[in-house]
């Protein structure tokens, strides 16, 4: 049985304030927890169903953290998923370490992405296309929000995030007088289907779900691009738009085989 103190702790971690205070977050569901166990994240404790334990006993028994059996009903009650017949882990957050794109590497930049589902999906998309660094504005939703972690489907263990004031960040990078490709997705720009993204690396900026890239950050973009529209839809979901841009990046610049 999950103790009352542990239940209180798990419920607290569902809010950003306490995730920051305790330096911990929740990972739920079989796939995400299994990805977690194979990563370098530090696990505090693991609650799991008896079935999950039996199926993964060899992976779990050698771990140094506290592990307890819980019923699927308890897992659902103390977590955020409506149903969870597998596992729930409490994990230590990582420090907000500075990230930048190395030569011939692209990093993704998110300007004020507010929806947790969108952020989680973008993390998963970045992982698919081999992007391992995401630079987030300070107003982008919390990386460790349970909905973000769930939507990333385990990709959060391979993609790192860094939260920073984007104006100051790009200002520092551009002050070094090094040629830097900063692509940004706008309603007007170069047709991404008809251009080749540079193989020297750089940054790809995606903007807010409703307002796009902010004026201040947009002023720093030196390569505006657009996804051509053939129908009447007003806009694309930012996750879908990110996938299209990254697909064109891989198709035109890096020539990588799957």
pLDDT (tens digit per residue) in 80-89: 999 999 999 9
Asked whether the predicted pLDDT for residue 177 surpasses 80, the reply is: no
% of the chain beyond a pLDDT of 70: 97
Asked whether the predicted pLDDT for residue 235 surpasses 90, the reply is: no
Full set of structural domains in the chain with CATH: 4-92 (3.30.1330.30), 106-254 (3.40.1280.10)
Question: What is the predicted pLDDT for the residue at 256?
Answer: 47
Residues 15-32 have pLDDT tens digits of 999 999 999 999 999 999
**Measured distance CA(72)–CA(83) in Å, rounded:** 7
Average pLDDT on 106-114 reads 98
**Measured distance CA(100)–CA(155) in Å, rounded:** 19
Residues 35-49 have pLDDT tens digits of 999 999 999 999 999
Buried b (16+ CB within 10 A) or exposed e, 210-235: eebbbeebeebbebbbbbeeeeeeee
% of the chain beyond a pLDDT of 90: 88
Asked whether the predicted pLDDT for residue 257 surpasses 70, the reply is: no
Average pLDDT on 100-119 reads 96
Residue 212: both structure tokens together = 């796009």
Could you tell me the pLDDT band of residue 253, with boundaries at 50, 70 and 90? Answer: low
Q: Which 3 state secondary structure label does DSSP give 160?
A: strand
- Look at 110-124, 129-143, 173-187, 197-211 and tell me which has the smallest mean pLDDT: 173-187
Residues 41-80 have pLDDT tens digits of 999 999 999 999 999 999 999 889 999 999 999 999 999 9
Which of 146, 159, 140, 182 has its CA nearest to residue 99?
159
Average pLDDT on 158-175 reads 95
Which of 191, 198, 180, 250 has its CA nearest to residue 225?
191
Which of 129, 153, 77, 80 has its CA nearest to residue 251?
129
Question: What is the predicted pLDDT for the residue at 254?
Answer: 56
Question: What is the predicted pLDDT for the residue at 255?
Answer: 52
Average pLDDT on 142-161 reads 98
Contact in structure between 117 and 151 (CB atoms under 8 Å): yes
Other CB atoms within a 10 A radius of the CB of residue 185 amount to 24
Could you tell me the pLDDT band of residue 258, with boundaries at 50, 70 and 90? Answer: very low
Average pLDDT on 203-213 reads 96
Which of 135, 81, 132, 131 has its CA nearest to residue 113?
135
**Measured distance CA(33)–CA(48) in Å, rounded:** 10
Its pTM stands at: 0.94
């Amino acid at each position: 049985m999950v103790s009352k103190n542990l239940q209180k702790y798990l419920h607290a971690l569902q809010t950003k304030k306490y995730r920051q205070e305790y330096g911990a977050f929740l990972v739920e569901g079989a796939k995400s927890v299994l990805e977690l166990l194979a990563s370098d994240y530090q696990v505090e404790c693991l609650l799991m169903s008896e079935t999950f334990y039996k199926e993964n006993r060899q992976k779990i028994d050698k771990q140094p953290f506290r592990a307890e059996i819980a019923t699927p009903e308890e897992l659902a009650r103390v977590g955020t998923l409506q149903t969870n017949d597998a596992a729930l882990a409490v994990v230590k957050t990582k420090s907000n370490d500075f990230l930048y794109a190395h030569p011939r590497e692209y990093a993704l930049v998110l300007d004020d992405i507010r929806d947790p589902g969108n952020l989680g999906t973008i993390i998963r998309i970045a992982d698919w296309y081999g992007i391992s660094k995401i630079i987030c504005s300070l107003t982008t939703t919390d990386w460790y929000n349970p909905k973000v972690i769930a939507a990333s489907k385990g990709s959060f263990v391979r993609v790192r995030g860094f939260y920073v004031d984007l104006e100051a960040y790009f200002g520092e990078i551009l002050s070094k007088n090094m040629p830097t490709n900063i692509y940004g997705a706008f309603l007007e720009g170069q047709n991404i289907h008809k251009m080749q993204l540079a193989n020297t690396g750089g940054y790809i900026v995606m903007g807010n779900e409703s307002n796009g890239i902010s004026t201040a950050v947009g002023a720093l973009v030196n390569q505006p691009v657009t996804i051509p529209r053939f129908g009447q839809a007003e806009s694309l979901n930012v996750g879908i738009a990110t996938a299209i841009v990254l697909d064109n990046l891989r198709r035109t610049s890096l020539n990588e085989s799957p």
